[in-house]
Amino acid sequence: MKRKLSELIREGSKMHPQAFDVLQDDYGATCAVGAAMEAAFGSDSHFWPNVESCISDELFAKIEYWNDGCGYSRERIASFIARSPKNDIEIAVTRIPADGVAVGVAL
């Protein structure tokens, strides 16, 4: 199944509080990218694919700046991304089986 990045950020934002300077903290809070990863691949970050396999360095830097530098909410970041078809990439979502590893690829 393919999902838009903005949708994944919004969905993941409902799961835990927002984190800054990390994808996911020790309590489960996530930044905007971490929220998308959790929505796409489950809550255990040990099984998340490398972010670089899902999101370009340029897009990651934008999202990181909005999250950490500006302190924007993940919902606001999702709205920014949704307005730009170039940035609202589709990610192949793979829920992790109990004994497997997820693979995510930007399409």
The pLDDT of residue 61: 95
Model confidence over 21-43: pLDDT tens digits?
A: 999 999 999 999 999 999 999 88
The pLDDT of residue 37: 93
Ranges of residues in the chain whose predicted pLDDT is under 70: 95-107
SS3 for 17? Answer: coil
The pLDDT of residue 95: 59
d(CA 92, CA 32): 18
The pLDDT of residue 12: 96
The pLDDT of residue 107: 42
The pLDDT of residue 53: 85
Handedness of CA 64, 65, 71, 76 (dihedral sign): negative
